[in-house]
Amino acid sequence: MKIQILIVLGGLFLCGCASEKSPLLTGNPKDWRDHPTADLVEACGKPARILNQSDGEIWKYVKEWDAVIPKGSRASFQMQGFSGNRSSAIGGGGGFESHDQYAAHYVRTDNFAVKGGIIKEWYGEIDENDRVVWKGH
């Protein structure tokens, strides 16, 4: 019985590894690459805007929301080093930041580069109060 369970679990694991990444399962927008735009429209609706480019289109999806950010603080530290022609250096820095409660307006923009009805690339960003706080591609 235990061997049969292990065989079934192994088979399921191999099938999962062999399957294509589904953006609906992963939630990762970059996994839409090489999928037809019809699938994107079915899952996410029509884009807010379509920009024509010389080599295709850019489909823009925009989501906005408001949030109240609680009072908090954050510590950070960074180290970096480099080496060159017979020399090297290392450095570091850090800081402590605190803030009071504040209201924030967020805008997330997902851009899909489309050519011939197929998604070729994704890039996006999140803005907090008109300031870019995250970029991805």
pLDDT digits (tens, 9 = 90+) for 56-82: 999 999 999 999 999 998 787 888 887
If one counts every other C-beta atom within 10 angstroms of the C-beta of residue 39, the result is 14
Quick check: is 24 in a domain? no
Domain of residue 49: give its range: 34-79+96-137
What is the percent of the chain with per-residue pLDDT over 70, rounded to a whole number? 85
- Average pLDDT along the chain: 87
Average pLDDT over residues 88-113: 90
Which position has the higher pLDDT, 135 or 5? Answer: 135
Quick check: is 124 in a domain? yes
The reply to whether the predicted model has a pTM over 0.85 is no
Number of folded domains that form the chain: 1
Walk across the sheet containing 131-136 and list its strands: 49-53, 56-69, 102-115, 118-128, 131-136
Quick check: is 68 in a domain? yes
